[in-house]
Chain A
Amino acid sequence: MDQPASNPLYRRILLPTDGSEASQRAILAGVGFARELGADVVGLTATPAFRVLSADPGMIEDTADGYAEASRERGERLLDAVERAAAEAGVPCRLEQAVSDEPWQAIIDTAHRFGCDLIVMASHGRRGLGGLLPGSETQKVLVHSAIPVLVHR
């Protein structure tokens, strides 16, 4: 994993997921592309930081520790999908959980930290309607990312 493949295109692909169907499709497409290229993948999920005042029912009646634990378990479930897809395709895979209120920032930071040269993601996530406009997190990644973003609908 520390020595990326030597294909001339992309060597390490970041696969952010929020558990939506669209991101699930993007994961499968990204892993398929990685296999074709001989690249490896990094699966990422971003969890919002704990807040006392929140509209998220998972936070309201919880403590910071309980929330962190629940978030970590949820993140692990989401990343399982990346790990399984990569294992089936024989693609080397690393998994990362970020705690951030700005998923787009976590996506860009993680891409840099892991030396990814491509991001493959869905055009909309769980909060998006899908169809009319790309999701806001996706758009922020597009306008801030210095590396290319392959967007799947």
Chain B
Amino acid sequence: MANPANTQLYKRILVPTDGSDVSAAAEHAAVEFARAHGSEIVALSVAQTYPTYAAAEASMAVDPALDTEGLRAWAERNVRRVSAAAAGAGVACTPLTVFSHSASDAILDSARDHGCDLIFMGSHGRRGLSRLLAGSETQKVLAGAEVPVMVLRPKLKSS
């Protein structure tokens, strides 16, 4: 029987969150895992910027600063949800928000930069559930990750 305090594997877990119900399930599982396994969590929310829309937004006289602040607040709110769950379980949690054009790149970079040895994420993100393929960001993380990825499928309403 392993002693959680002495385990070597999966000490620091990256938990990306997009604030969706799908990612809430992965967050919950990650916190449970960390509590049982004696791991810490790095909670990440990516404020995703869309470069191709920038010109269109400018031509419509949208204040990009407003958008940026909104995105930042959204990302911080997502990360707070994980921090609160971790705190409730007595799990150490480092909150992290980054701006990036690519969620998967930000996830891979953050895992590397913060020395995470496991990534927890849903099989799909907030763009919905396909029964054929994993979500595109999840696929990119699986293809590029240097560490293992724990993938959780969201609960299906029909099952």
Query: Is A143 within 8 A of B143, CB to CB?
Result: no
Residues from chain A with a CB closer than 8 A to the CB of B124 are 143
Given contacts A29-B148, A149-B151, contact A133 B123 (CB under 8 A): no
Residues from chain B with a CB closer than 8 A to the CB of A8 are 36
Measured between alpha carbons, how far is A37 from B10 in the docked complex, in Å?
Answer: 12
Query: Is A151 within 8 A of B36, CB to CB?
Result: no
Among A134, A146, A149, which residue has the most Cβ atoms of chain B within 10 A? A134
Residues from chain B with a CB closer than 8 A to the CB of A33 are 9-10
CB A25 to nearest CB in B, in angstroms, measures: 10
Residue ranges of A at the interface with B (Cβ–Cβ < 8 Å) = 5-9, 29, 32-33, 35-38, 123, 131-134, 138-140, 142-146, 148-153
30 contacting pairs across A/B (C-beta < 8 A): A5-B1, A7-B36, A8-B36, A9-B37, A33-B9, A36-B2, A36-B8, A36-B9, A38-B1, A131-B143, A134-B134, A134-B142, A138-B142, A142-B151, A142-B153, A143-B131, A143-B134, A143-B153, A144-B131, A144-B153, A145-B153, A146-B159, A148-B152, A149-B151, A149-B152, A150-B151, A151-B149, A153-B143, A153-B145, A153-B146
Question: Can you add 9 more A-B contacts, CB < 8 Å, to A139-B133, A143-B129?
Answer: A36-B2, A36-B7, A131-B143, A138-B142, A142-B134, A142-B151, A143-B131, A148-B29, A151-B151
Measured between alpha carbons, how far is A146 from B151 in the docked complex, in Å?
Answer: 10
Query: Is B123 within 8 A of A143, CB to CB?
Result: yes
B74 at interface, CB cutoff 8 A: no
Interface size on B, residues (CB 8 A): 31
Enumerate B137-157 residues with CB–CB distance to A below 8 Å: 138-139, 142-143, 145-146, 148-153
Residue ranges of B at the interface with A (Cβ–Cβ < 8 Å) = 1-2, 7-10, 29, 33, 36-37, 123-124, 129-134, 138-139, 142-143, 145-146, 148-153, 159
CB B40 to nearest CB in A, in angstroms, measures: 16
Report the nearest A residue to B120, measured CB to CB.
A148
Report the nearest B residue to A149, measured CB to CB.
B151
CB A72 to nearest CB in B, in angstroms, measures: 31
Residues from chain B with a CB closer than 8 A to the CB of A29 are 148
Measured between alpha carbons, how far is A110 from B151 in the docked complex, in Å?
Answer: 18
CB A23 to nearest CB in B, in angstroms, measures: 14
Measured between alpha carbons, how far is A138 from B132 in the docked complex, in Å?
Answer: 11
